[in-house]
């Protein structure tokens, strides 16, 4: 959340300074800043969702492997005790 807010504020400040050189009125400048901030927020949200998805997939894979290893250990132990 702090990262997103920081990105939004940085984008707004950048466009506020860059907007001083053009002939657009204040409403146009504000609209452009809002559009850019929304785009940046969307990009950040998408990147975060991708990262969370990757981490979840990795965790599920690791858990599956651990469960297979545990099952193999139980099976081996049962085989040893049945002989």
CA angle 26, 28, 33 (to 5 degrees): 95
Q: How far is CA 1 from CA 7, 34, 44, 71, in A?
A: 10, 18, 10, 41
Give Cα 32 distance to the centre of its chain: 25
> What residue segments make up the domains of the chain, in order of their start?
2-82
Q: What is the pLDDT of residues 30-57, one digit of tens each?
A: 999 999 999 999 999 999 999 999 999 9
Q: What is the pTM of this model?
A: 0.49
pLDDT at 71: 93
Q: How far is CA 14 from CA 9, 37, 40, 41, 60, in A?
A: 8, 11, 13, 15, 41
């Amino acid at each position: 959340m702090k990262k997103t807010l920081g990105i939004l504020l940085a984008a707004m400040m950048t466009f506020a300074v860059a907007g001083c050189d053009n002939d657009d009125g204040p409403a146009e400048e504000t609209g452009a800043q809002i559009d850019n901030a929304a785009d940046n927020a969307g990009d950040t949200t998408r990147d975060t969702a991708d990262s969370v998805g990757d981490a979840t997939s990795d965790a599920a894979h690791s858990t599956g492997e651990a469960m297979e290893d545990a099952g193999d250990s139980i099976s081996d132990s049962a085989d040893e005790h049945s002989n």
